[in-house]
Amino acid sequence: MFSPDDPPAVDGLECSPSEHAPRPYVEPSARAFRGAVSLFKALSDEQRLRTLEFLSQGEACASEIAAQFDEPLSTVSHRMKLLEQAGLVSRRRDGRHVHFSLLDHHVLNMVRDALDHAVE
Give the start-to-end residue ranges of the domains of the chain. 31-118
CA distance 30 to 35: 9
Q: Is the pLDDT of residue 55 over 90?
A: yes
pLDDT given for residue 51 in this prediction: 97
Strands 89-94 and 97-102, by their bridges, are antiparallel
Share of the chain above pLDDT 90, in %: 67
* 31-118 belongs to CATH 3.40.50.720: no
- Bigger pLDDT: 46 vs 18: 46
Give the Cβ contact number of residue 43 at 10 Å.
18
pLDDT given for residue 23 in this prediction: 86
Q: What is the pTM of this model?
A: 0.78
- Bigger pLDDT: 46 vs 11: 46
Rounded average pLDDT over 36-43? 90
Find all residues with CB under 8 Å of 95, minimum gap 6, and list them: none
Rounded average pLDDT over 24-42? 91
Query: For all residues of the chain together, what is the average pLDDT?
Result: 89
pLDDT given for residue 18 in this prediction: 83
Q: Answer positive or negative: Cα dihedral of 99, 103, 105, 110.
A: negative
pLDDT in tens, 63-110: 999 999 999 999 999 999 999 999 999 999 999 999 999 999 998 898
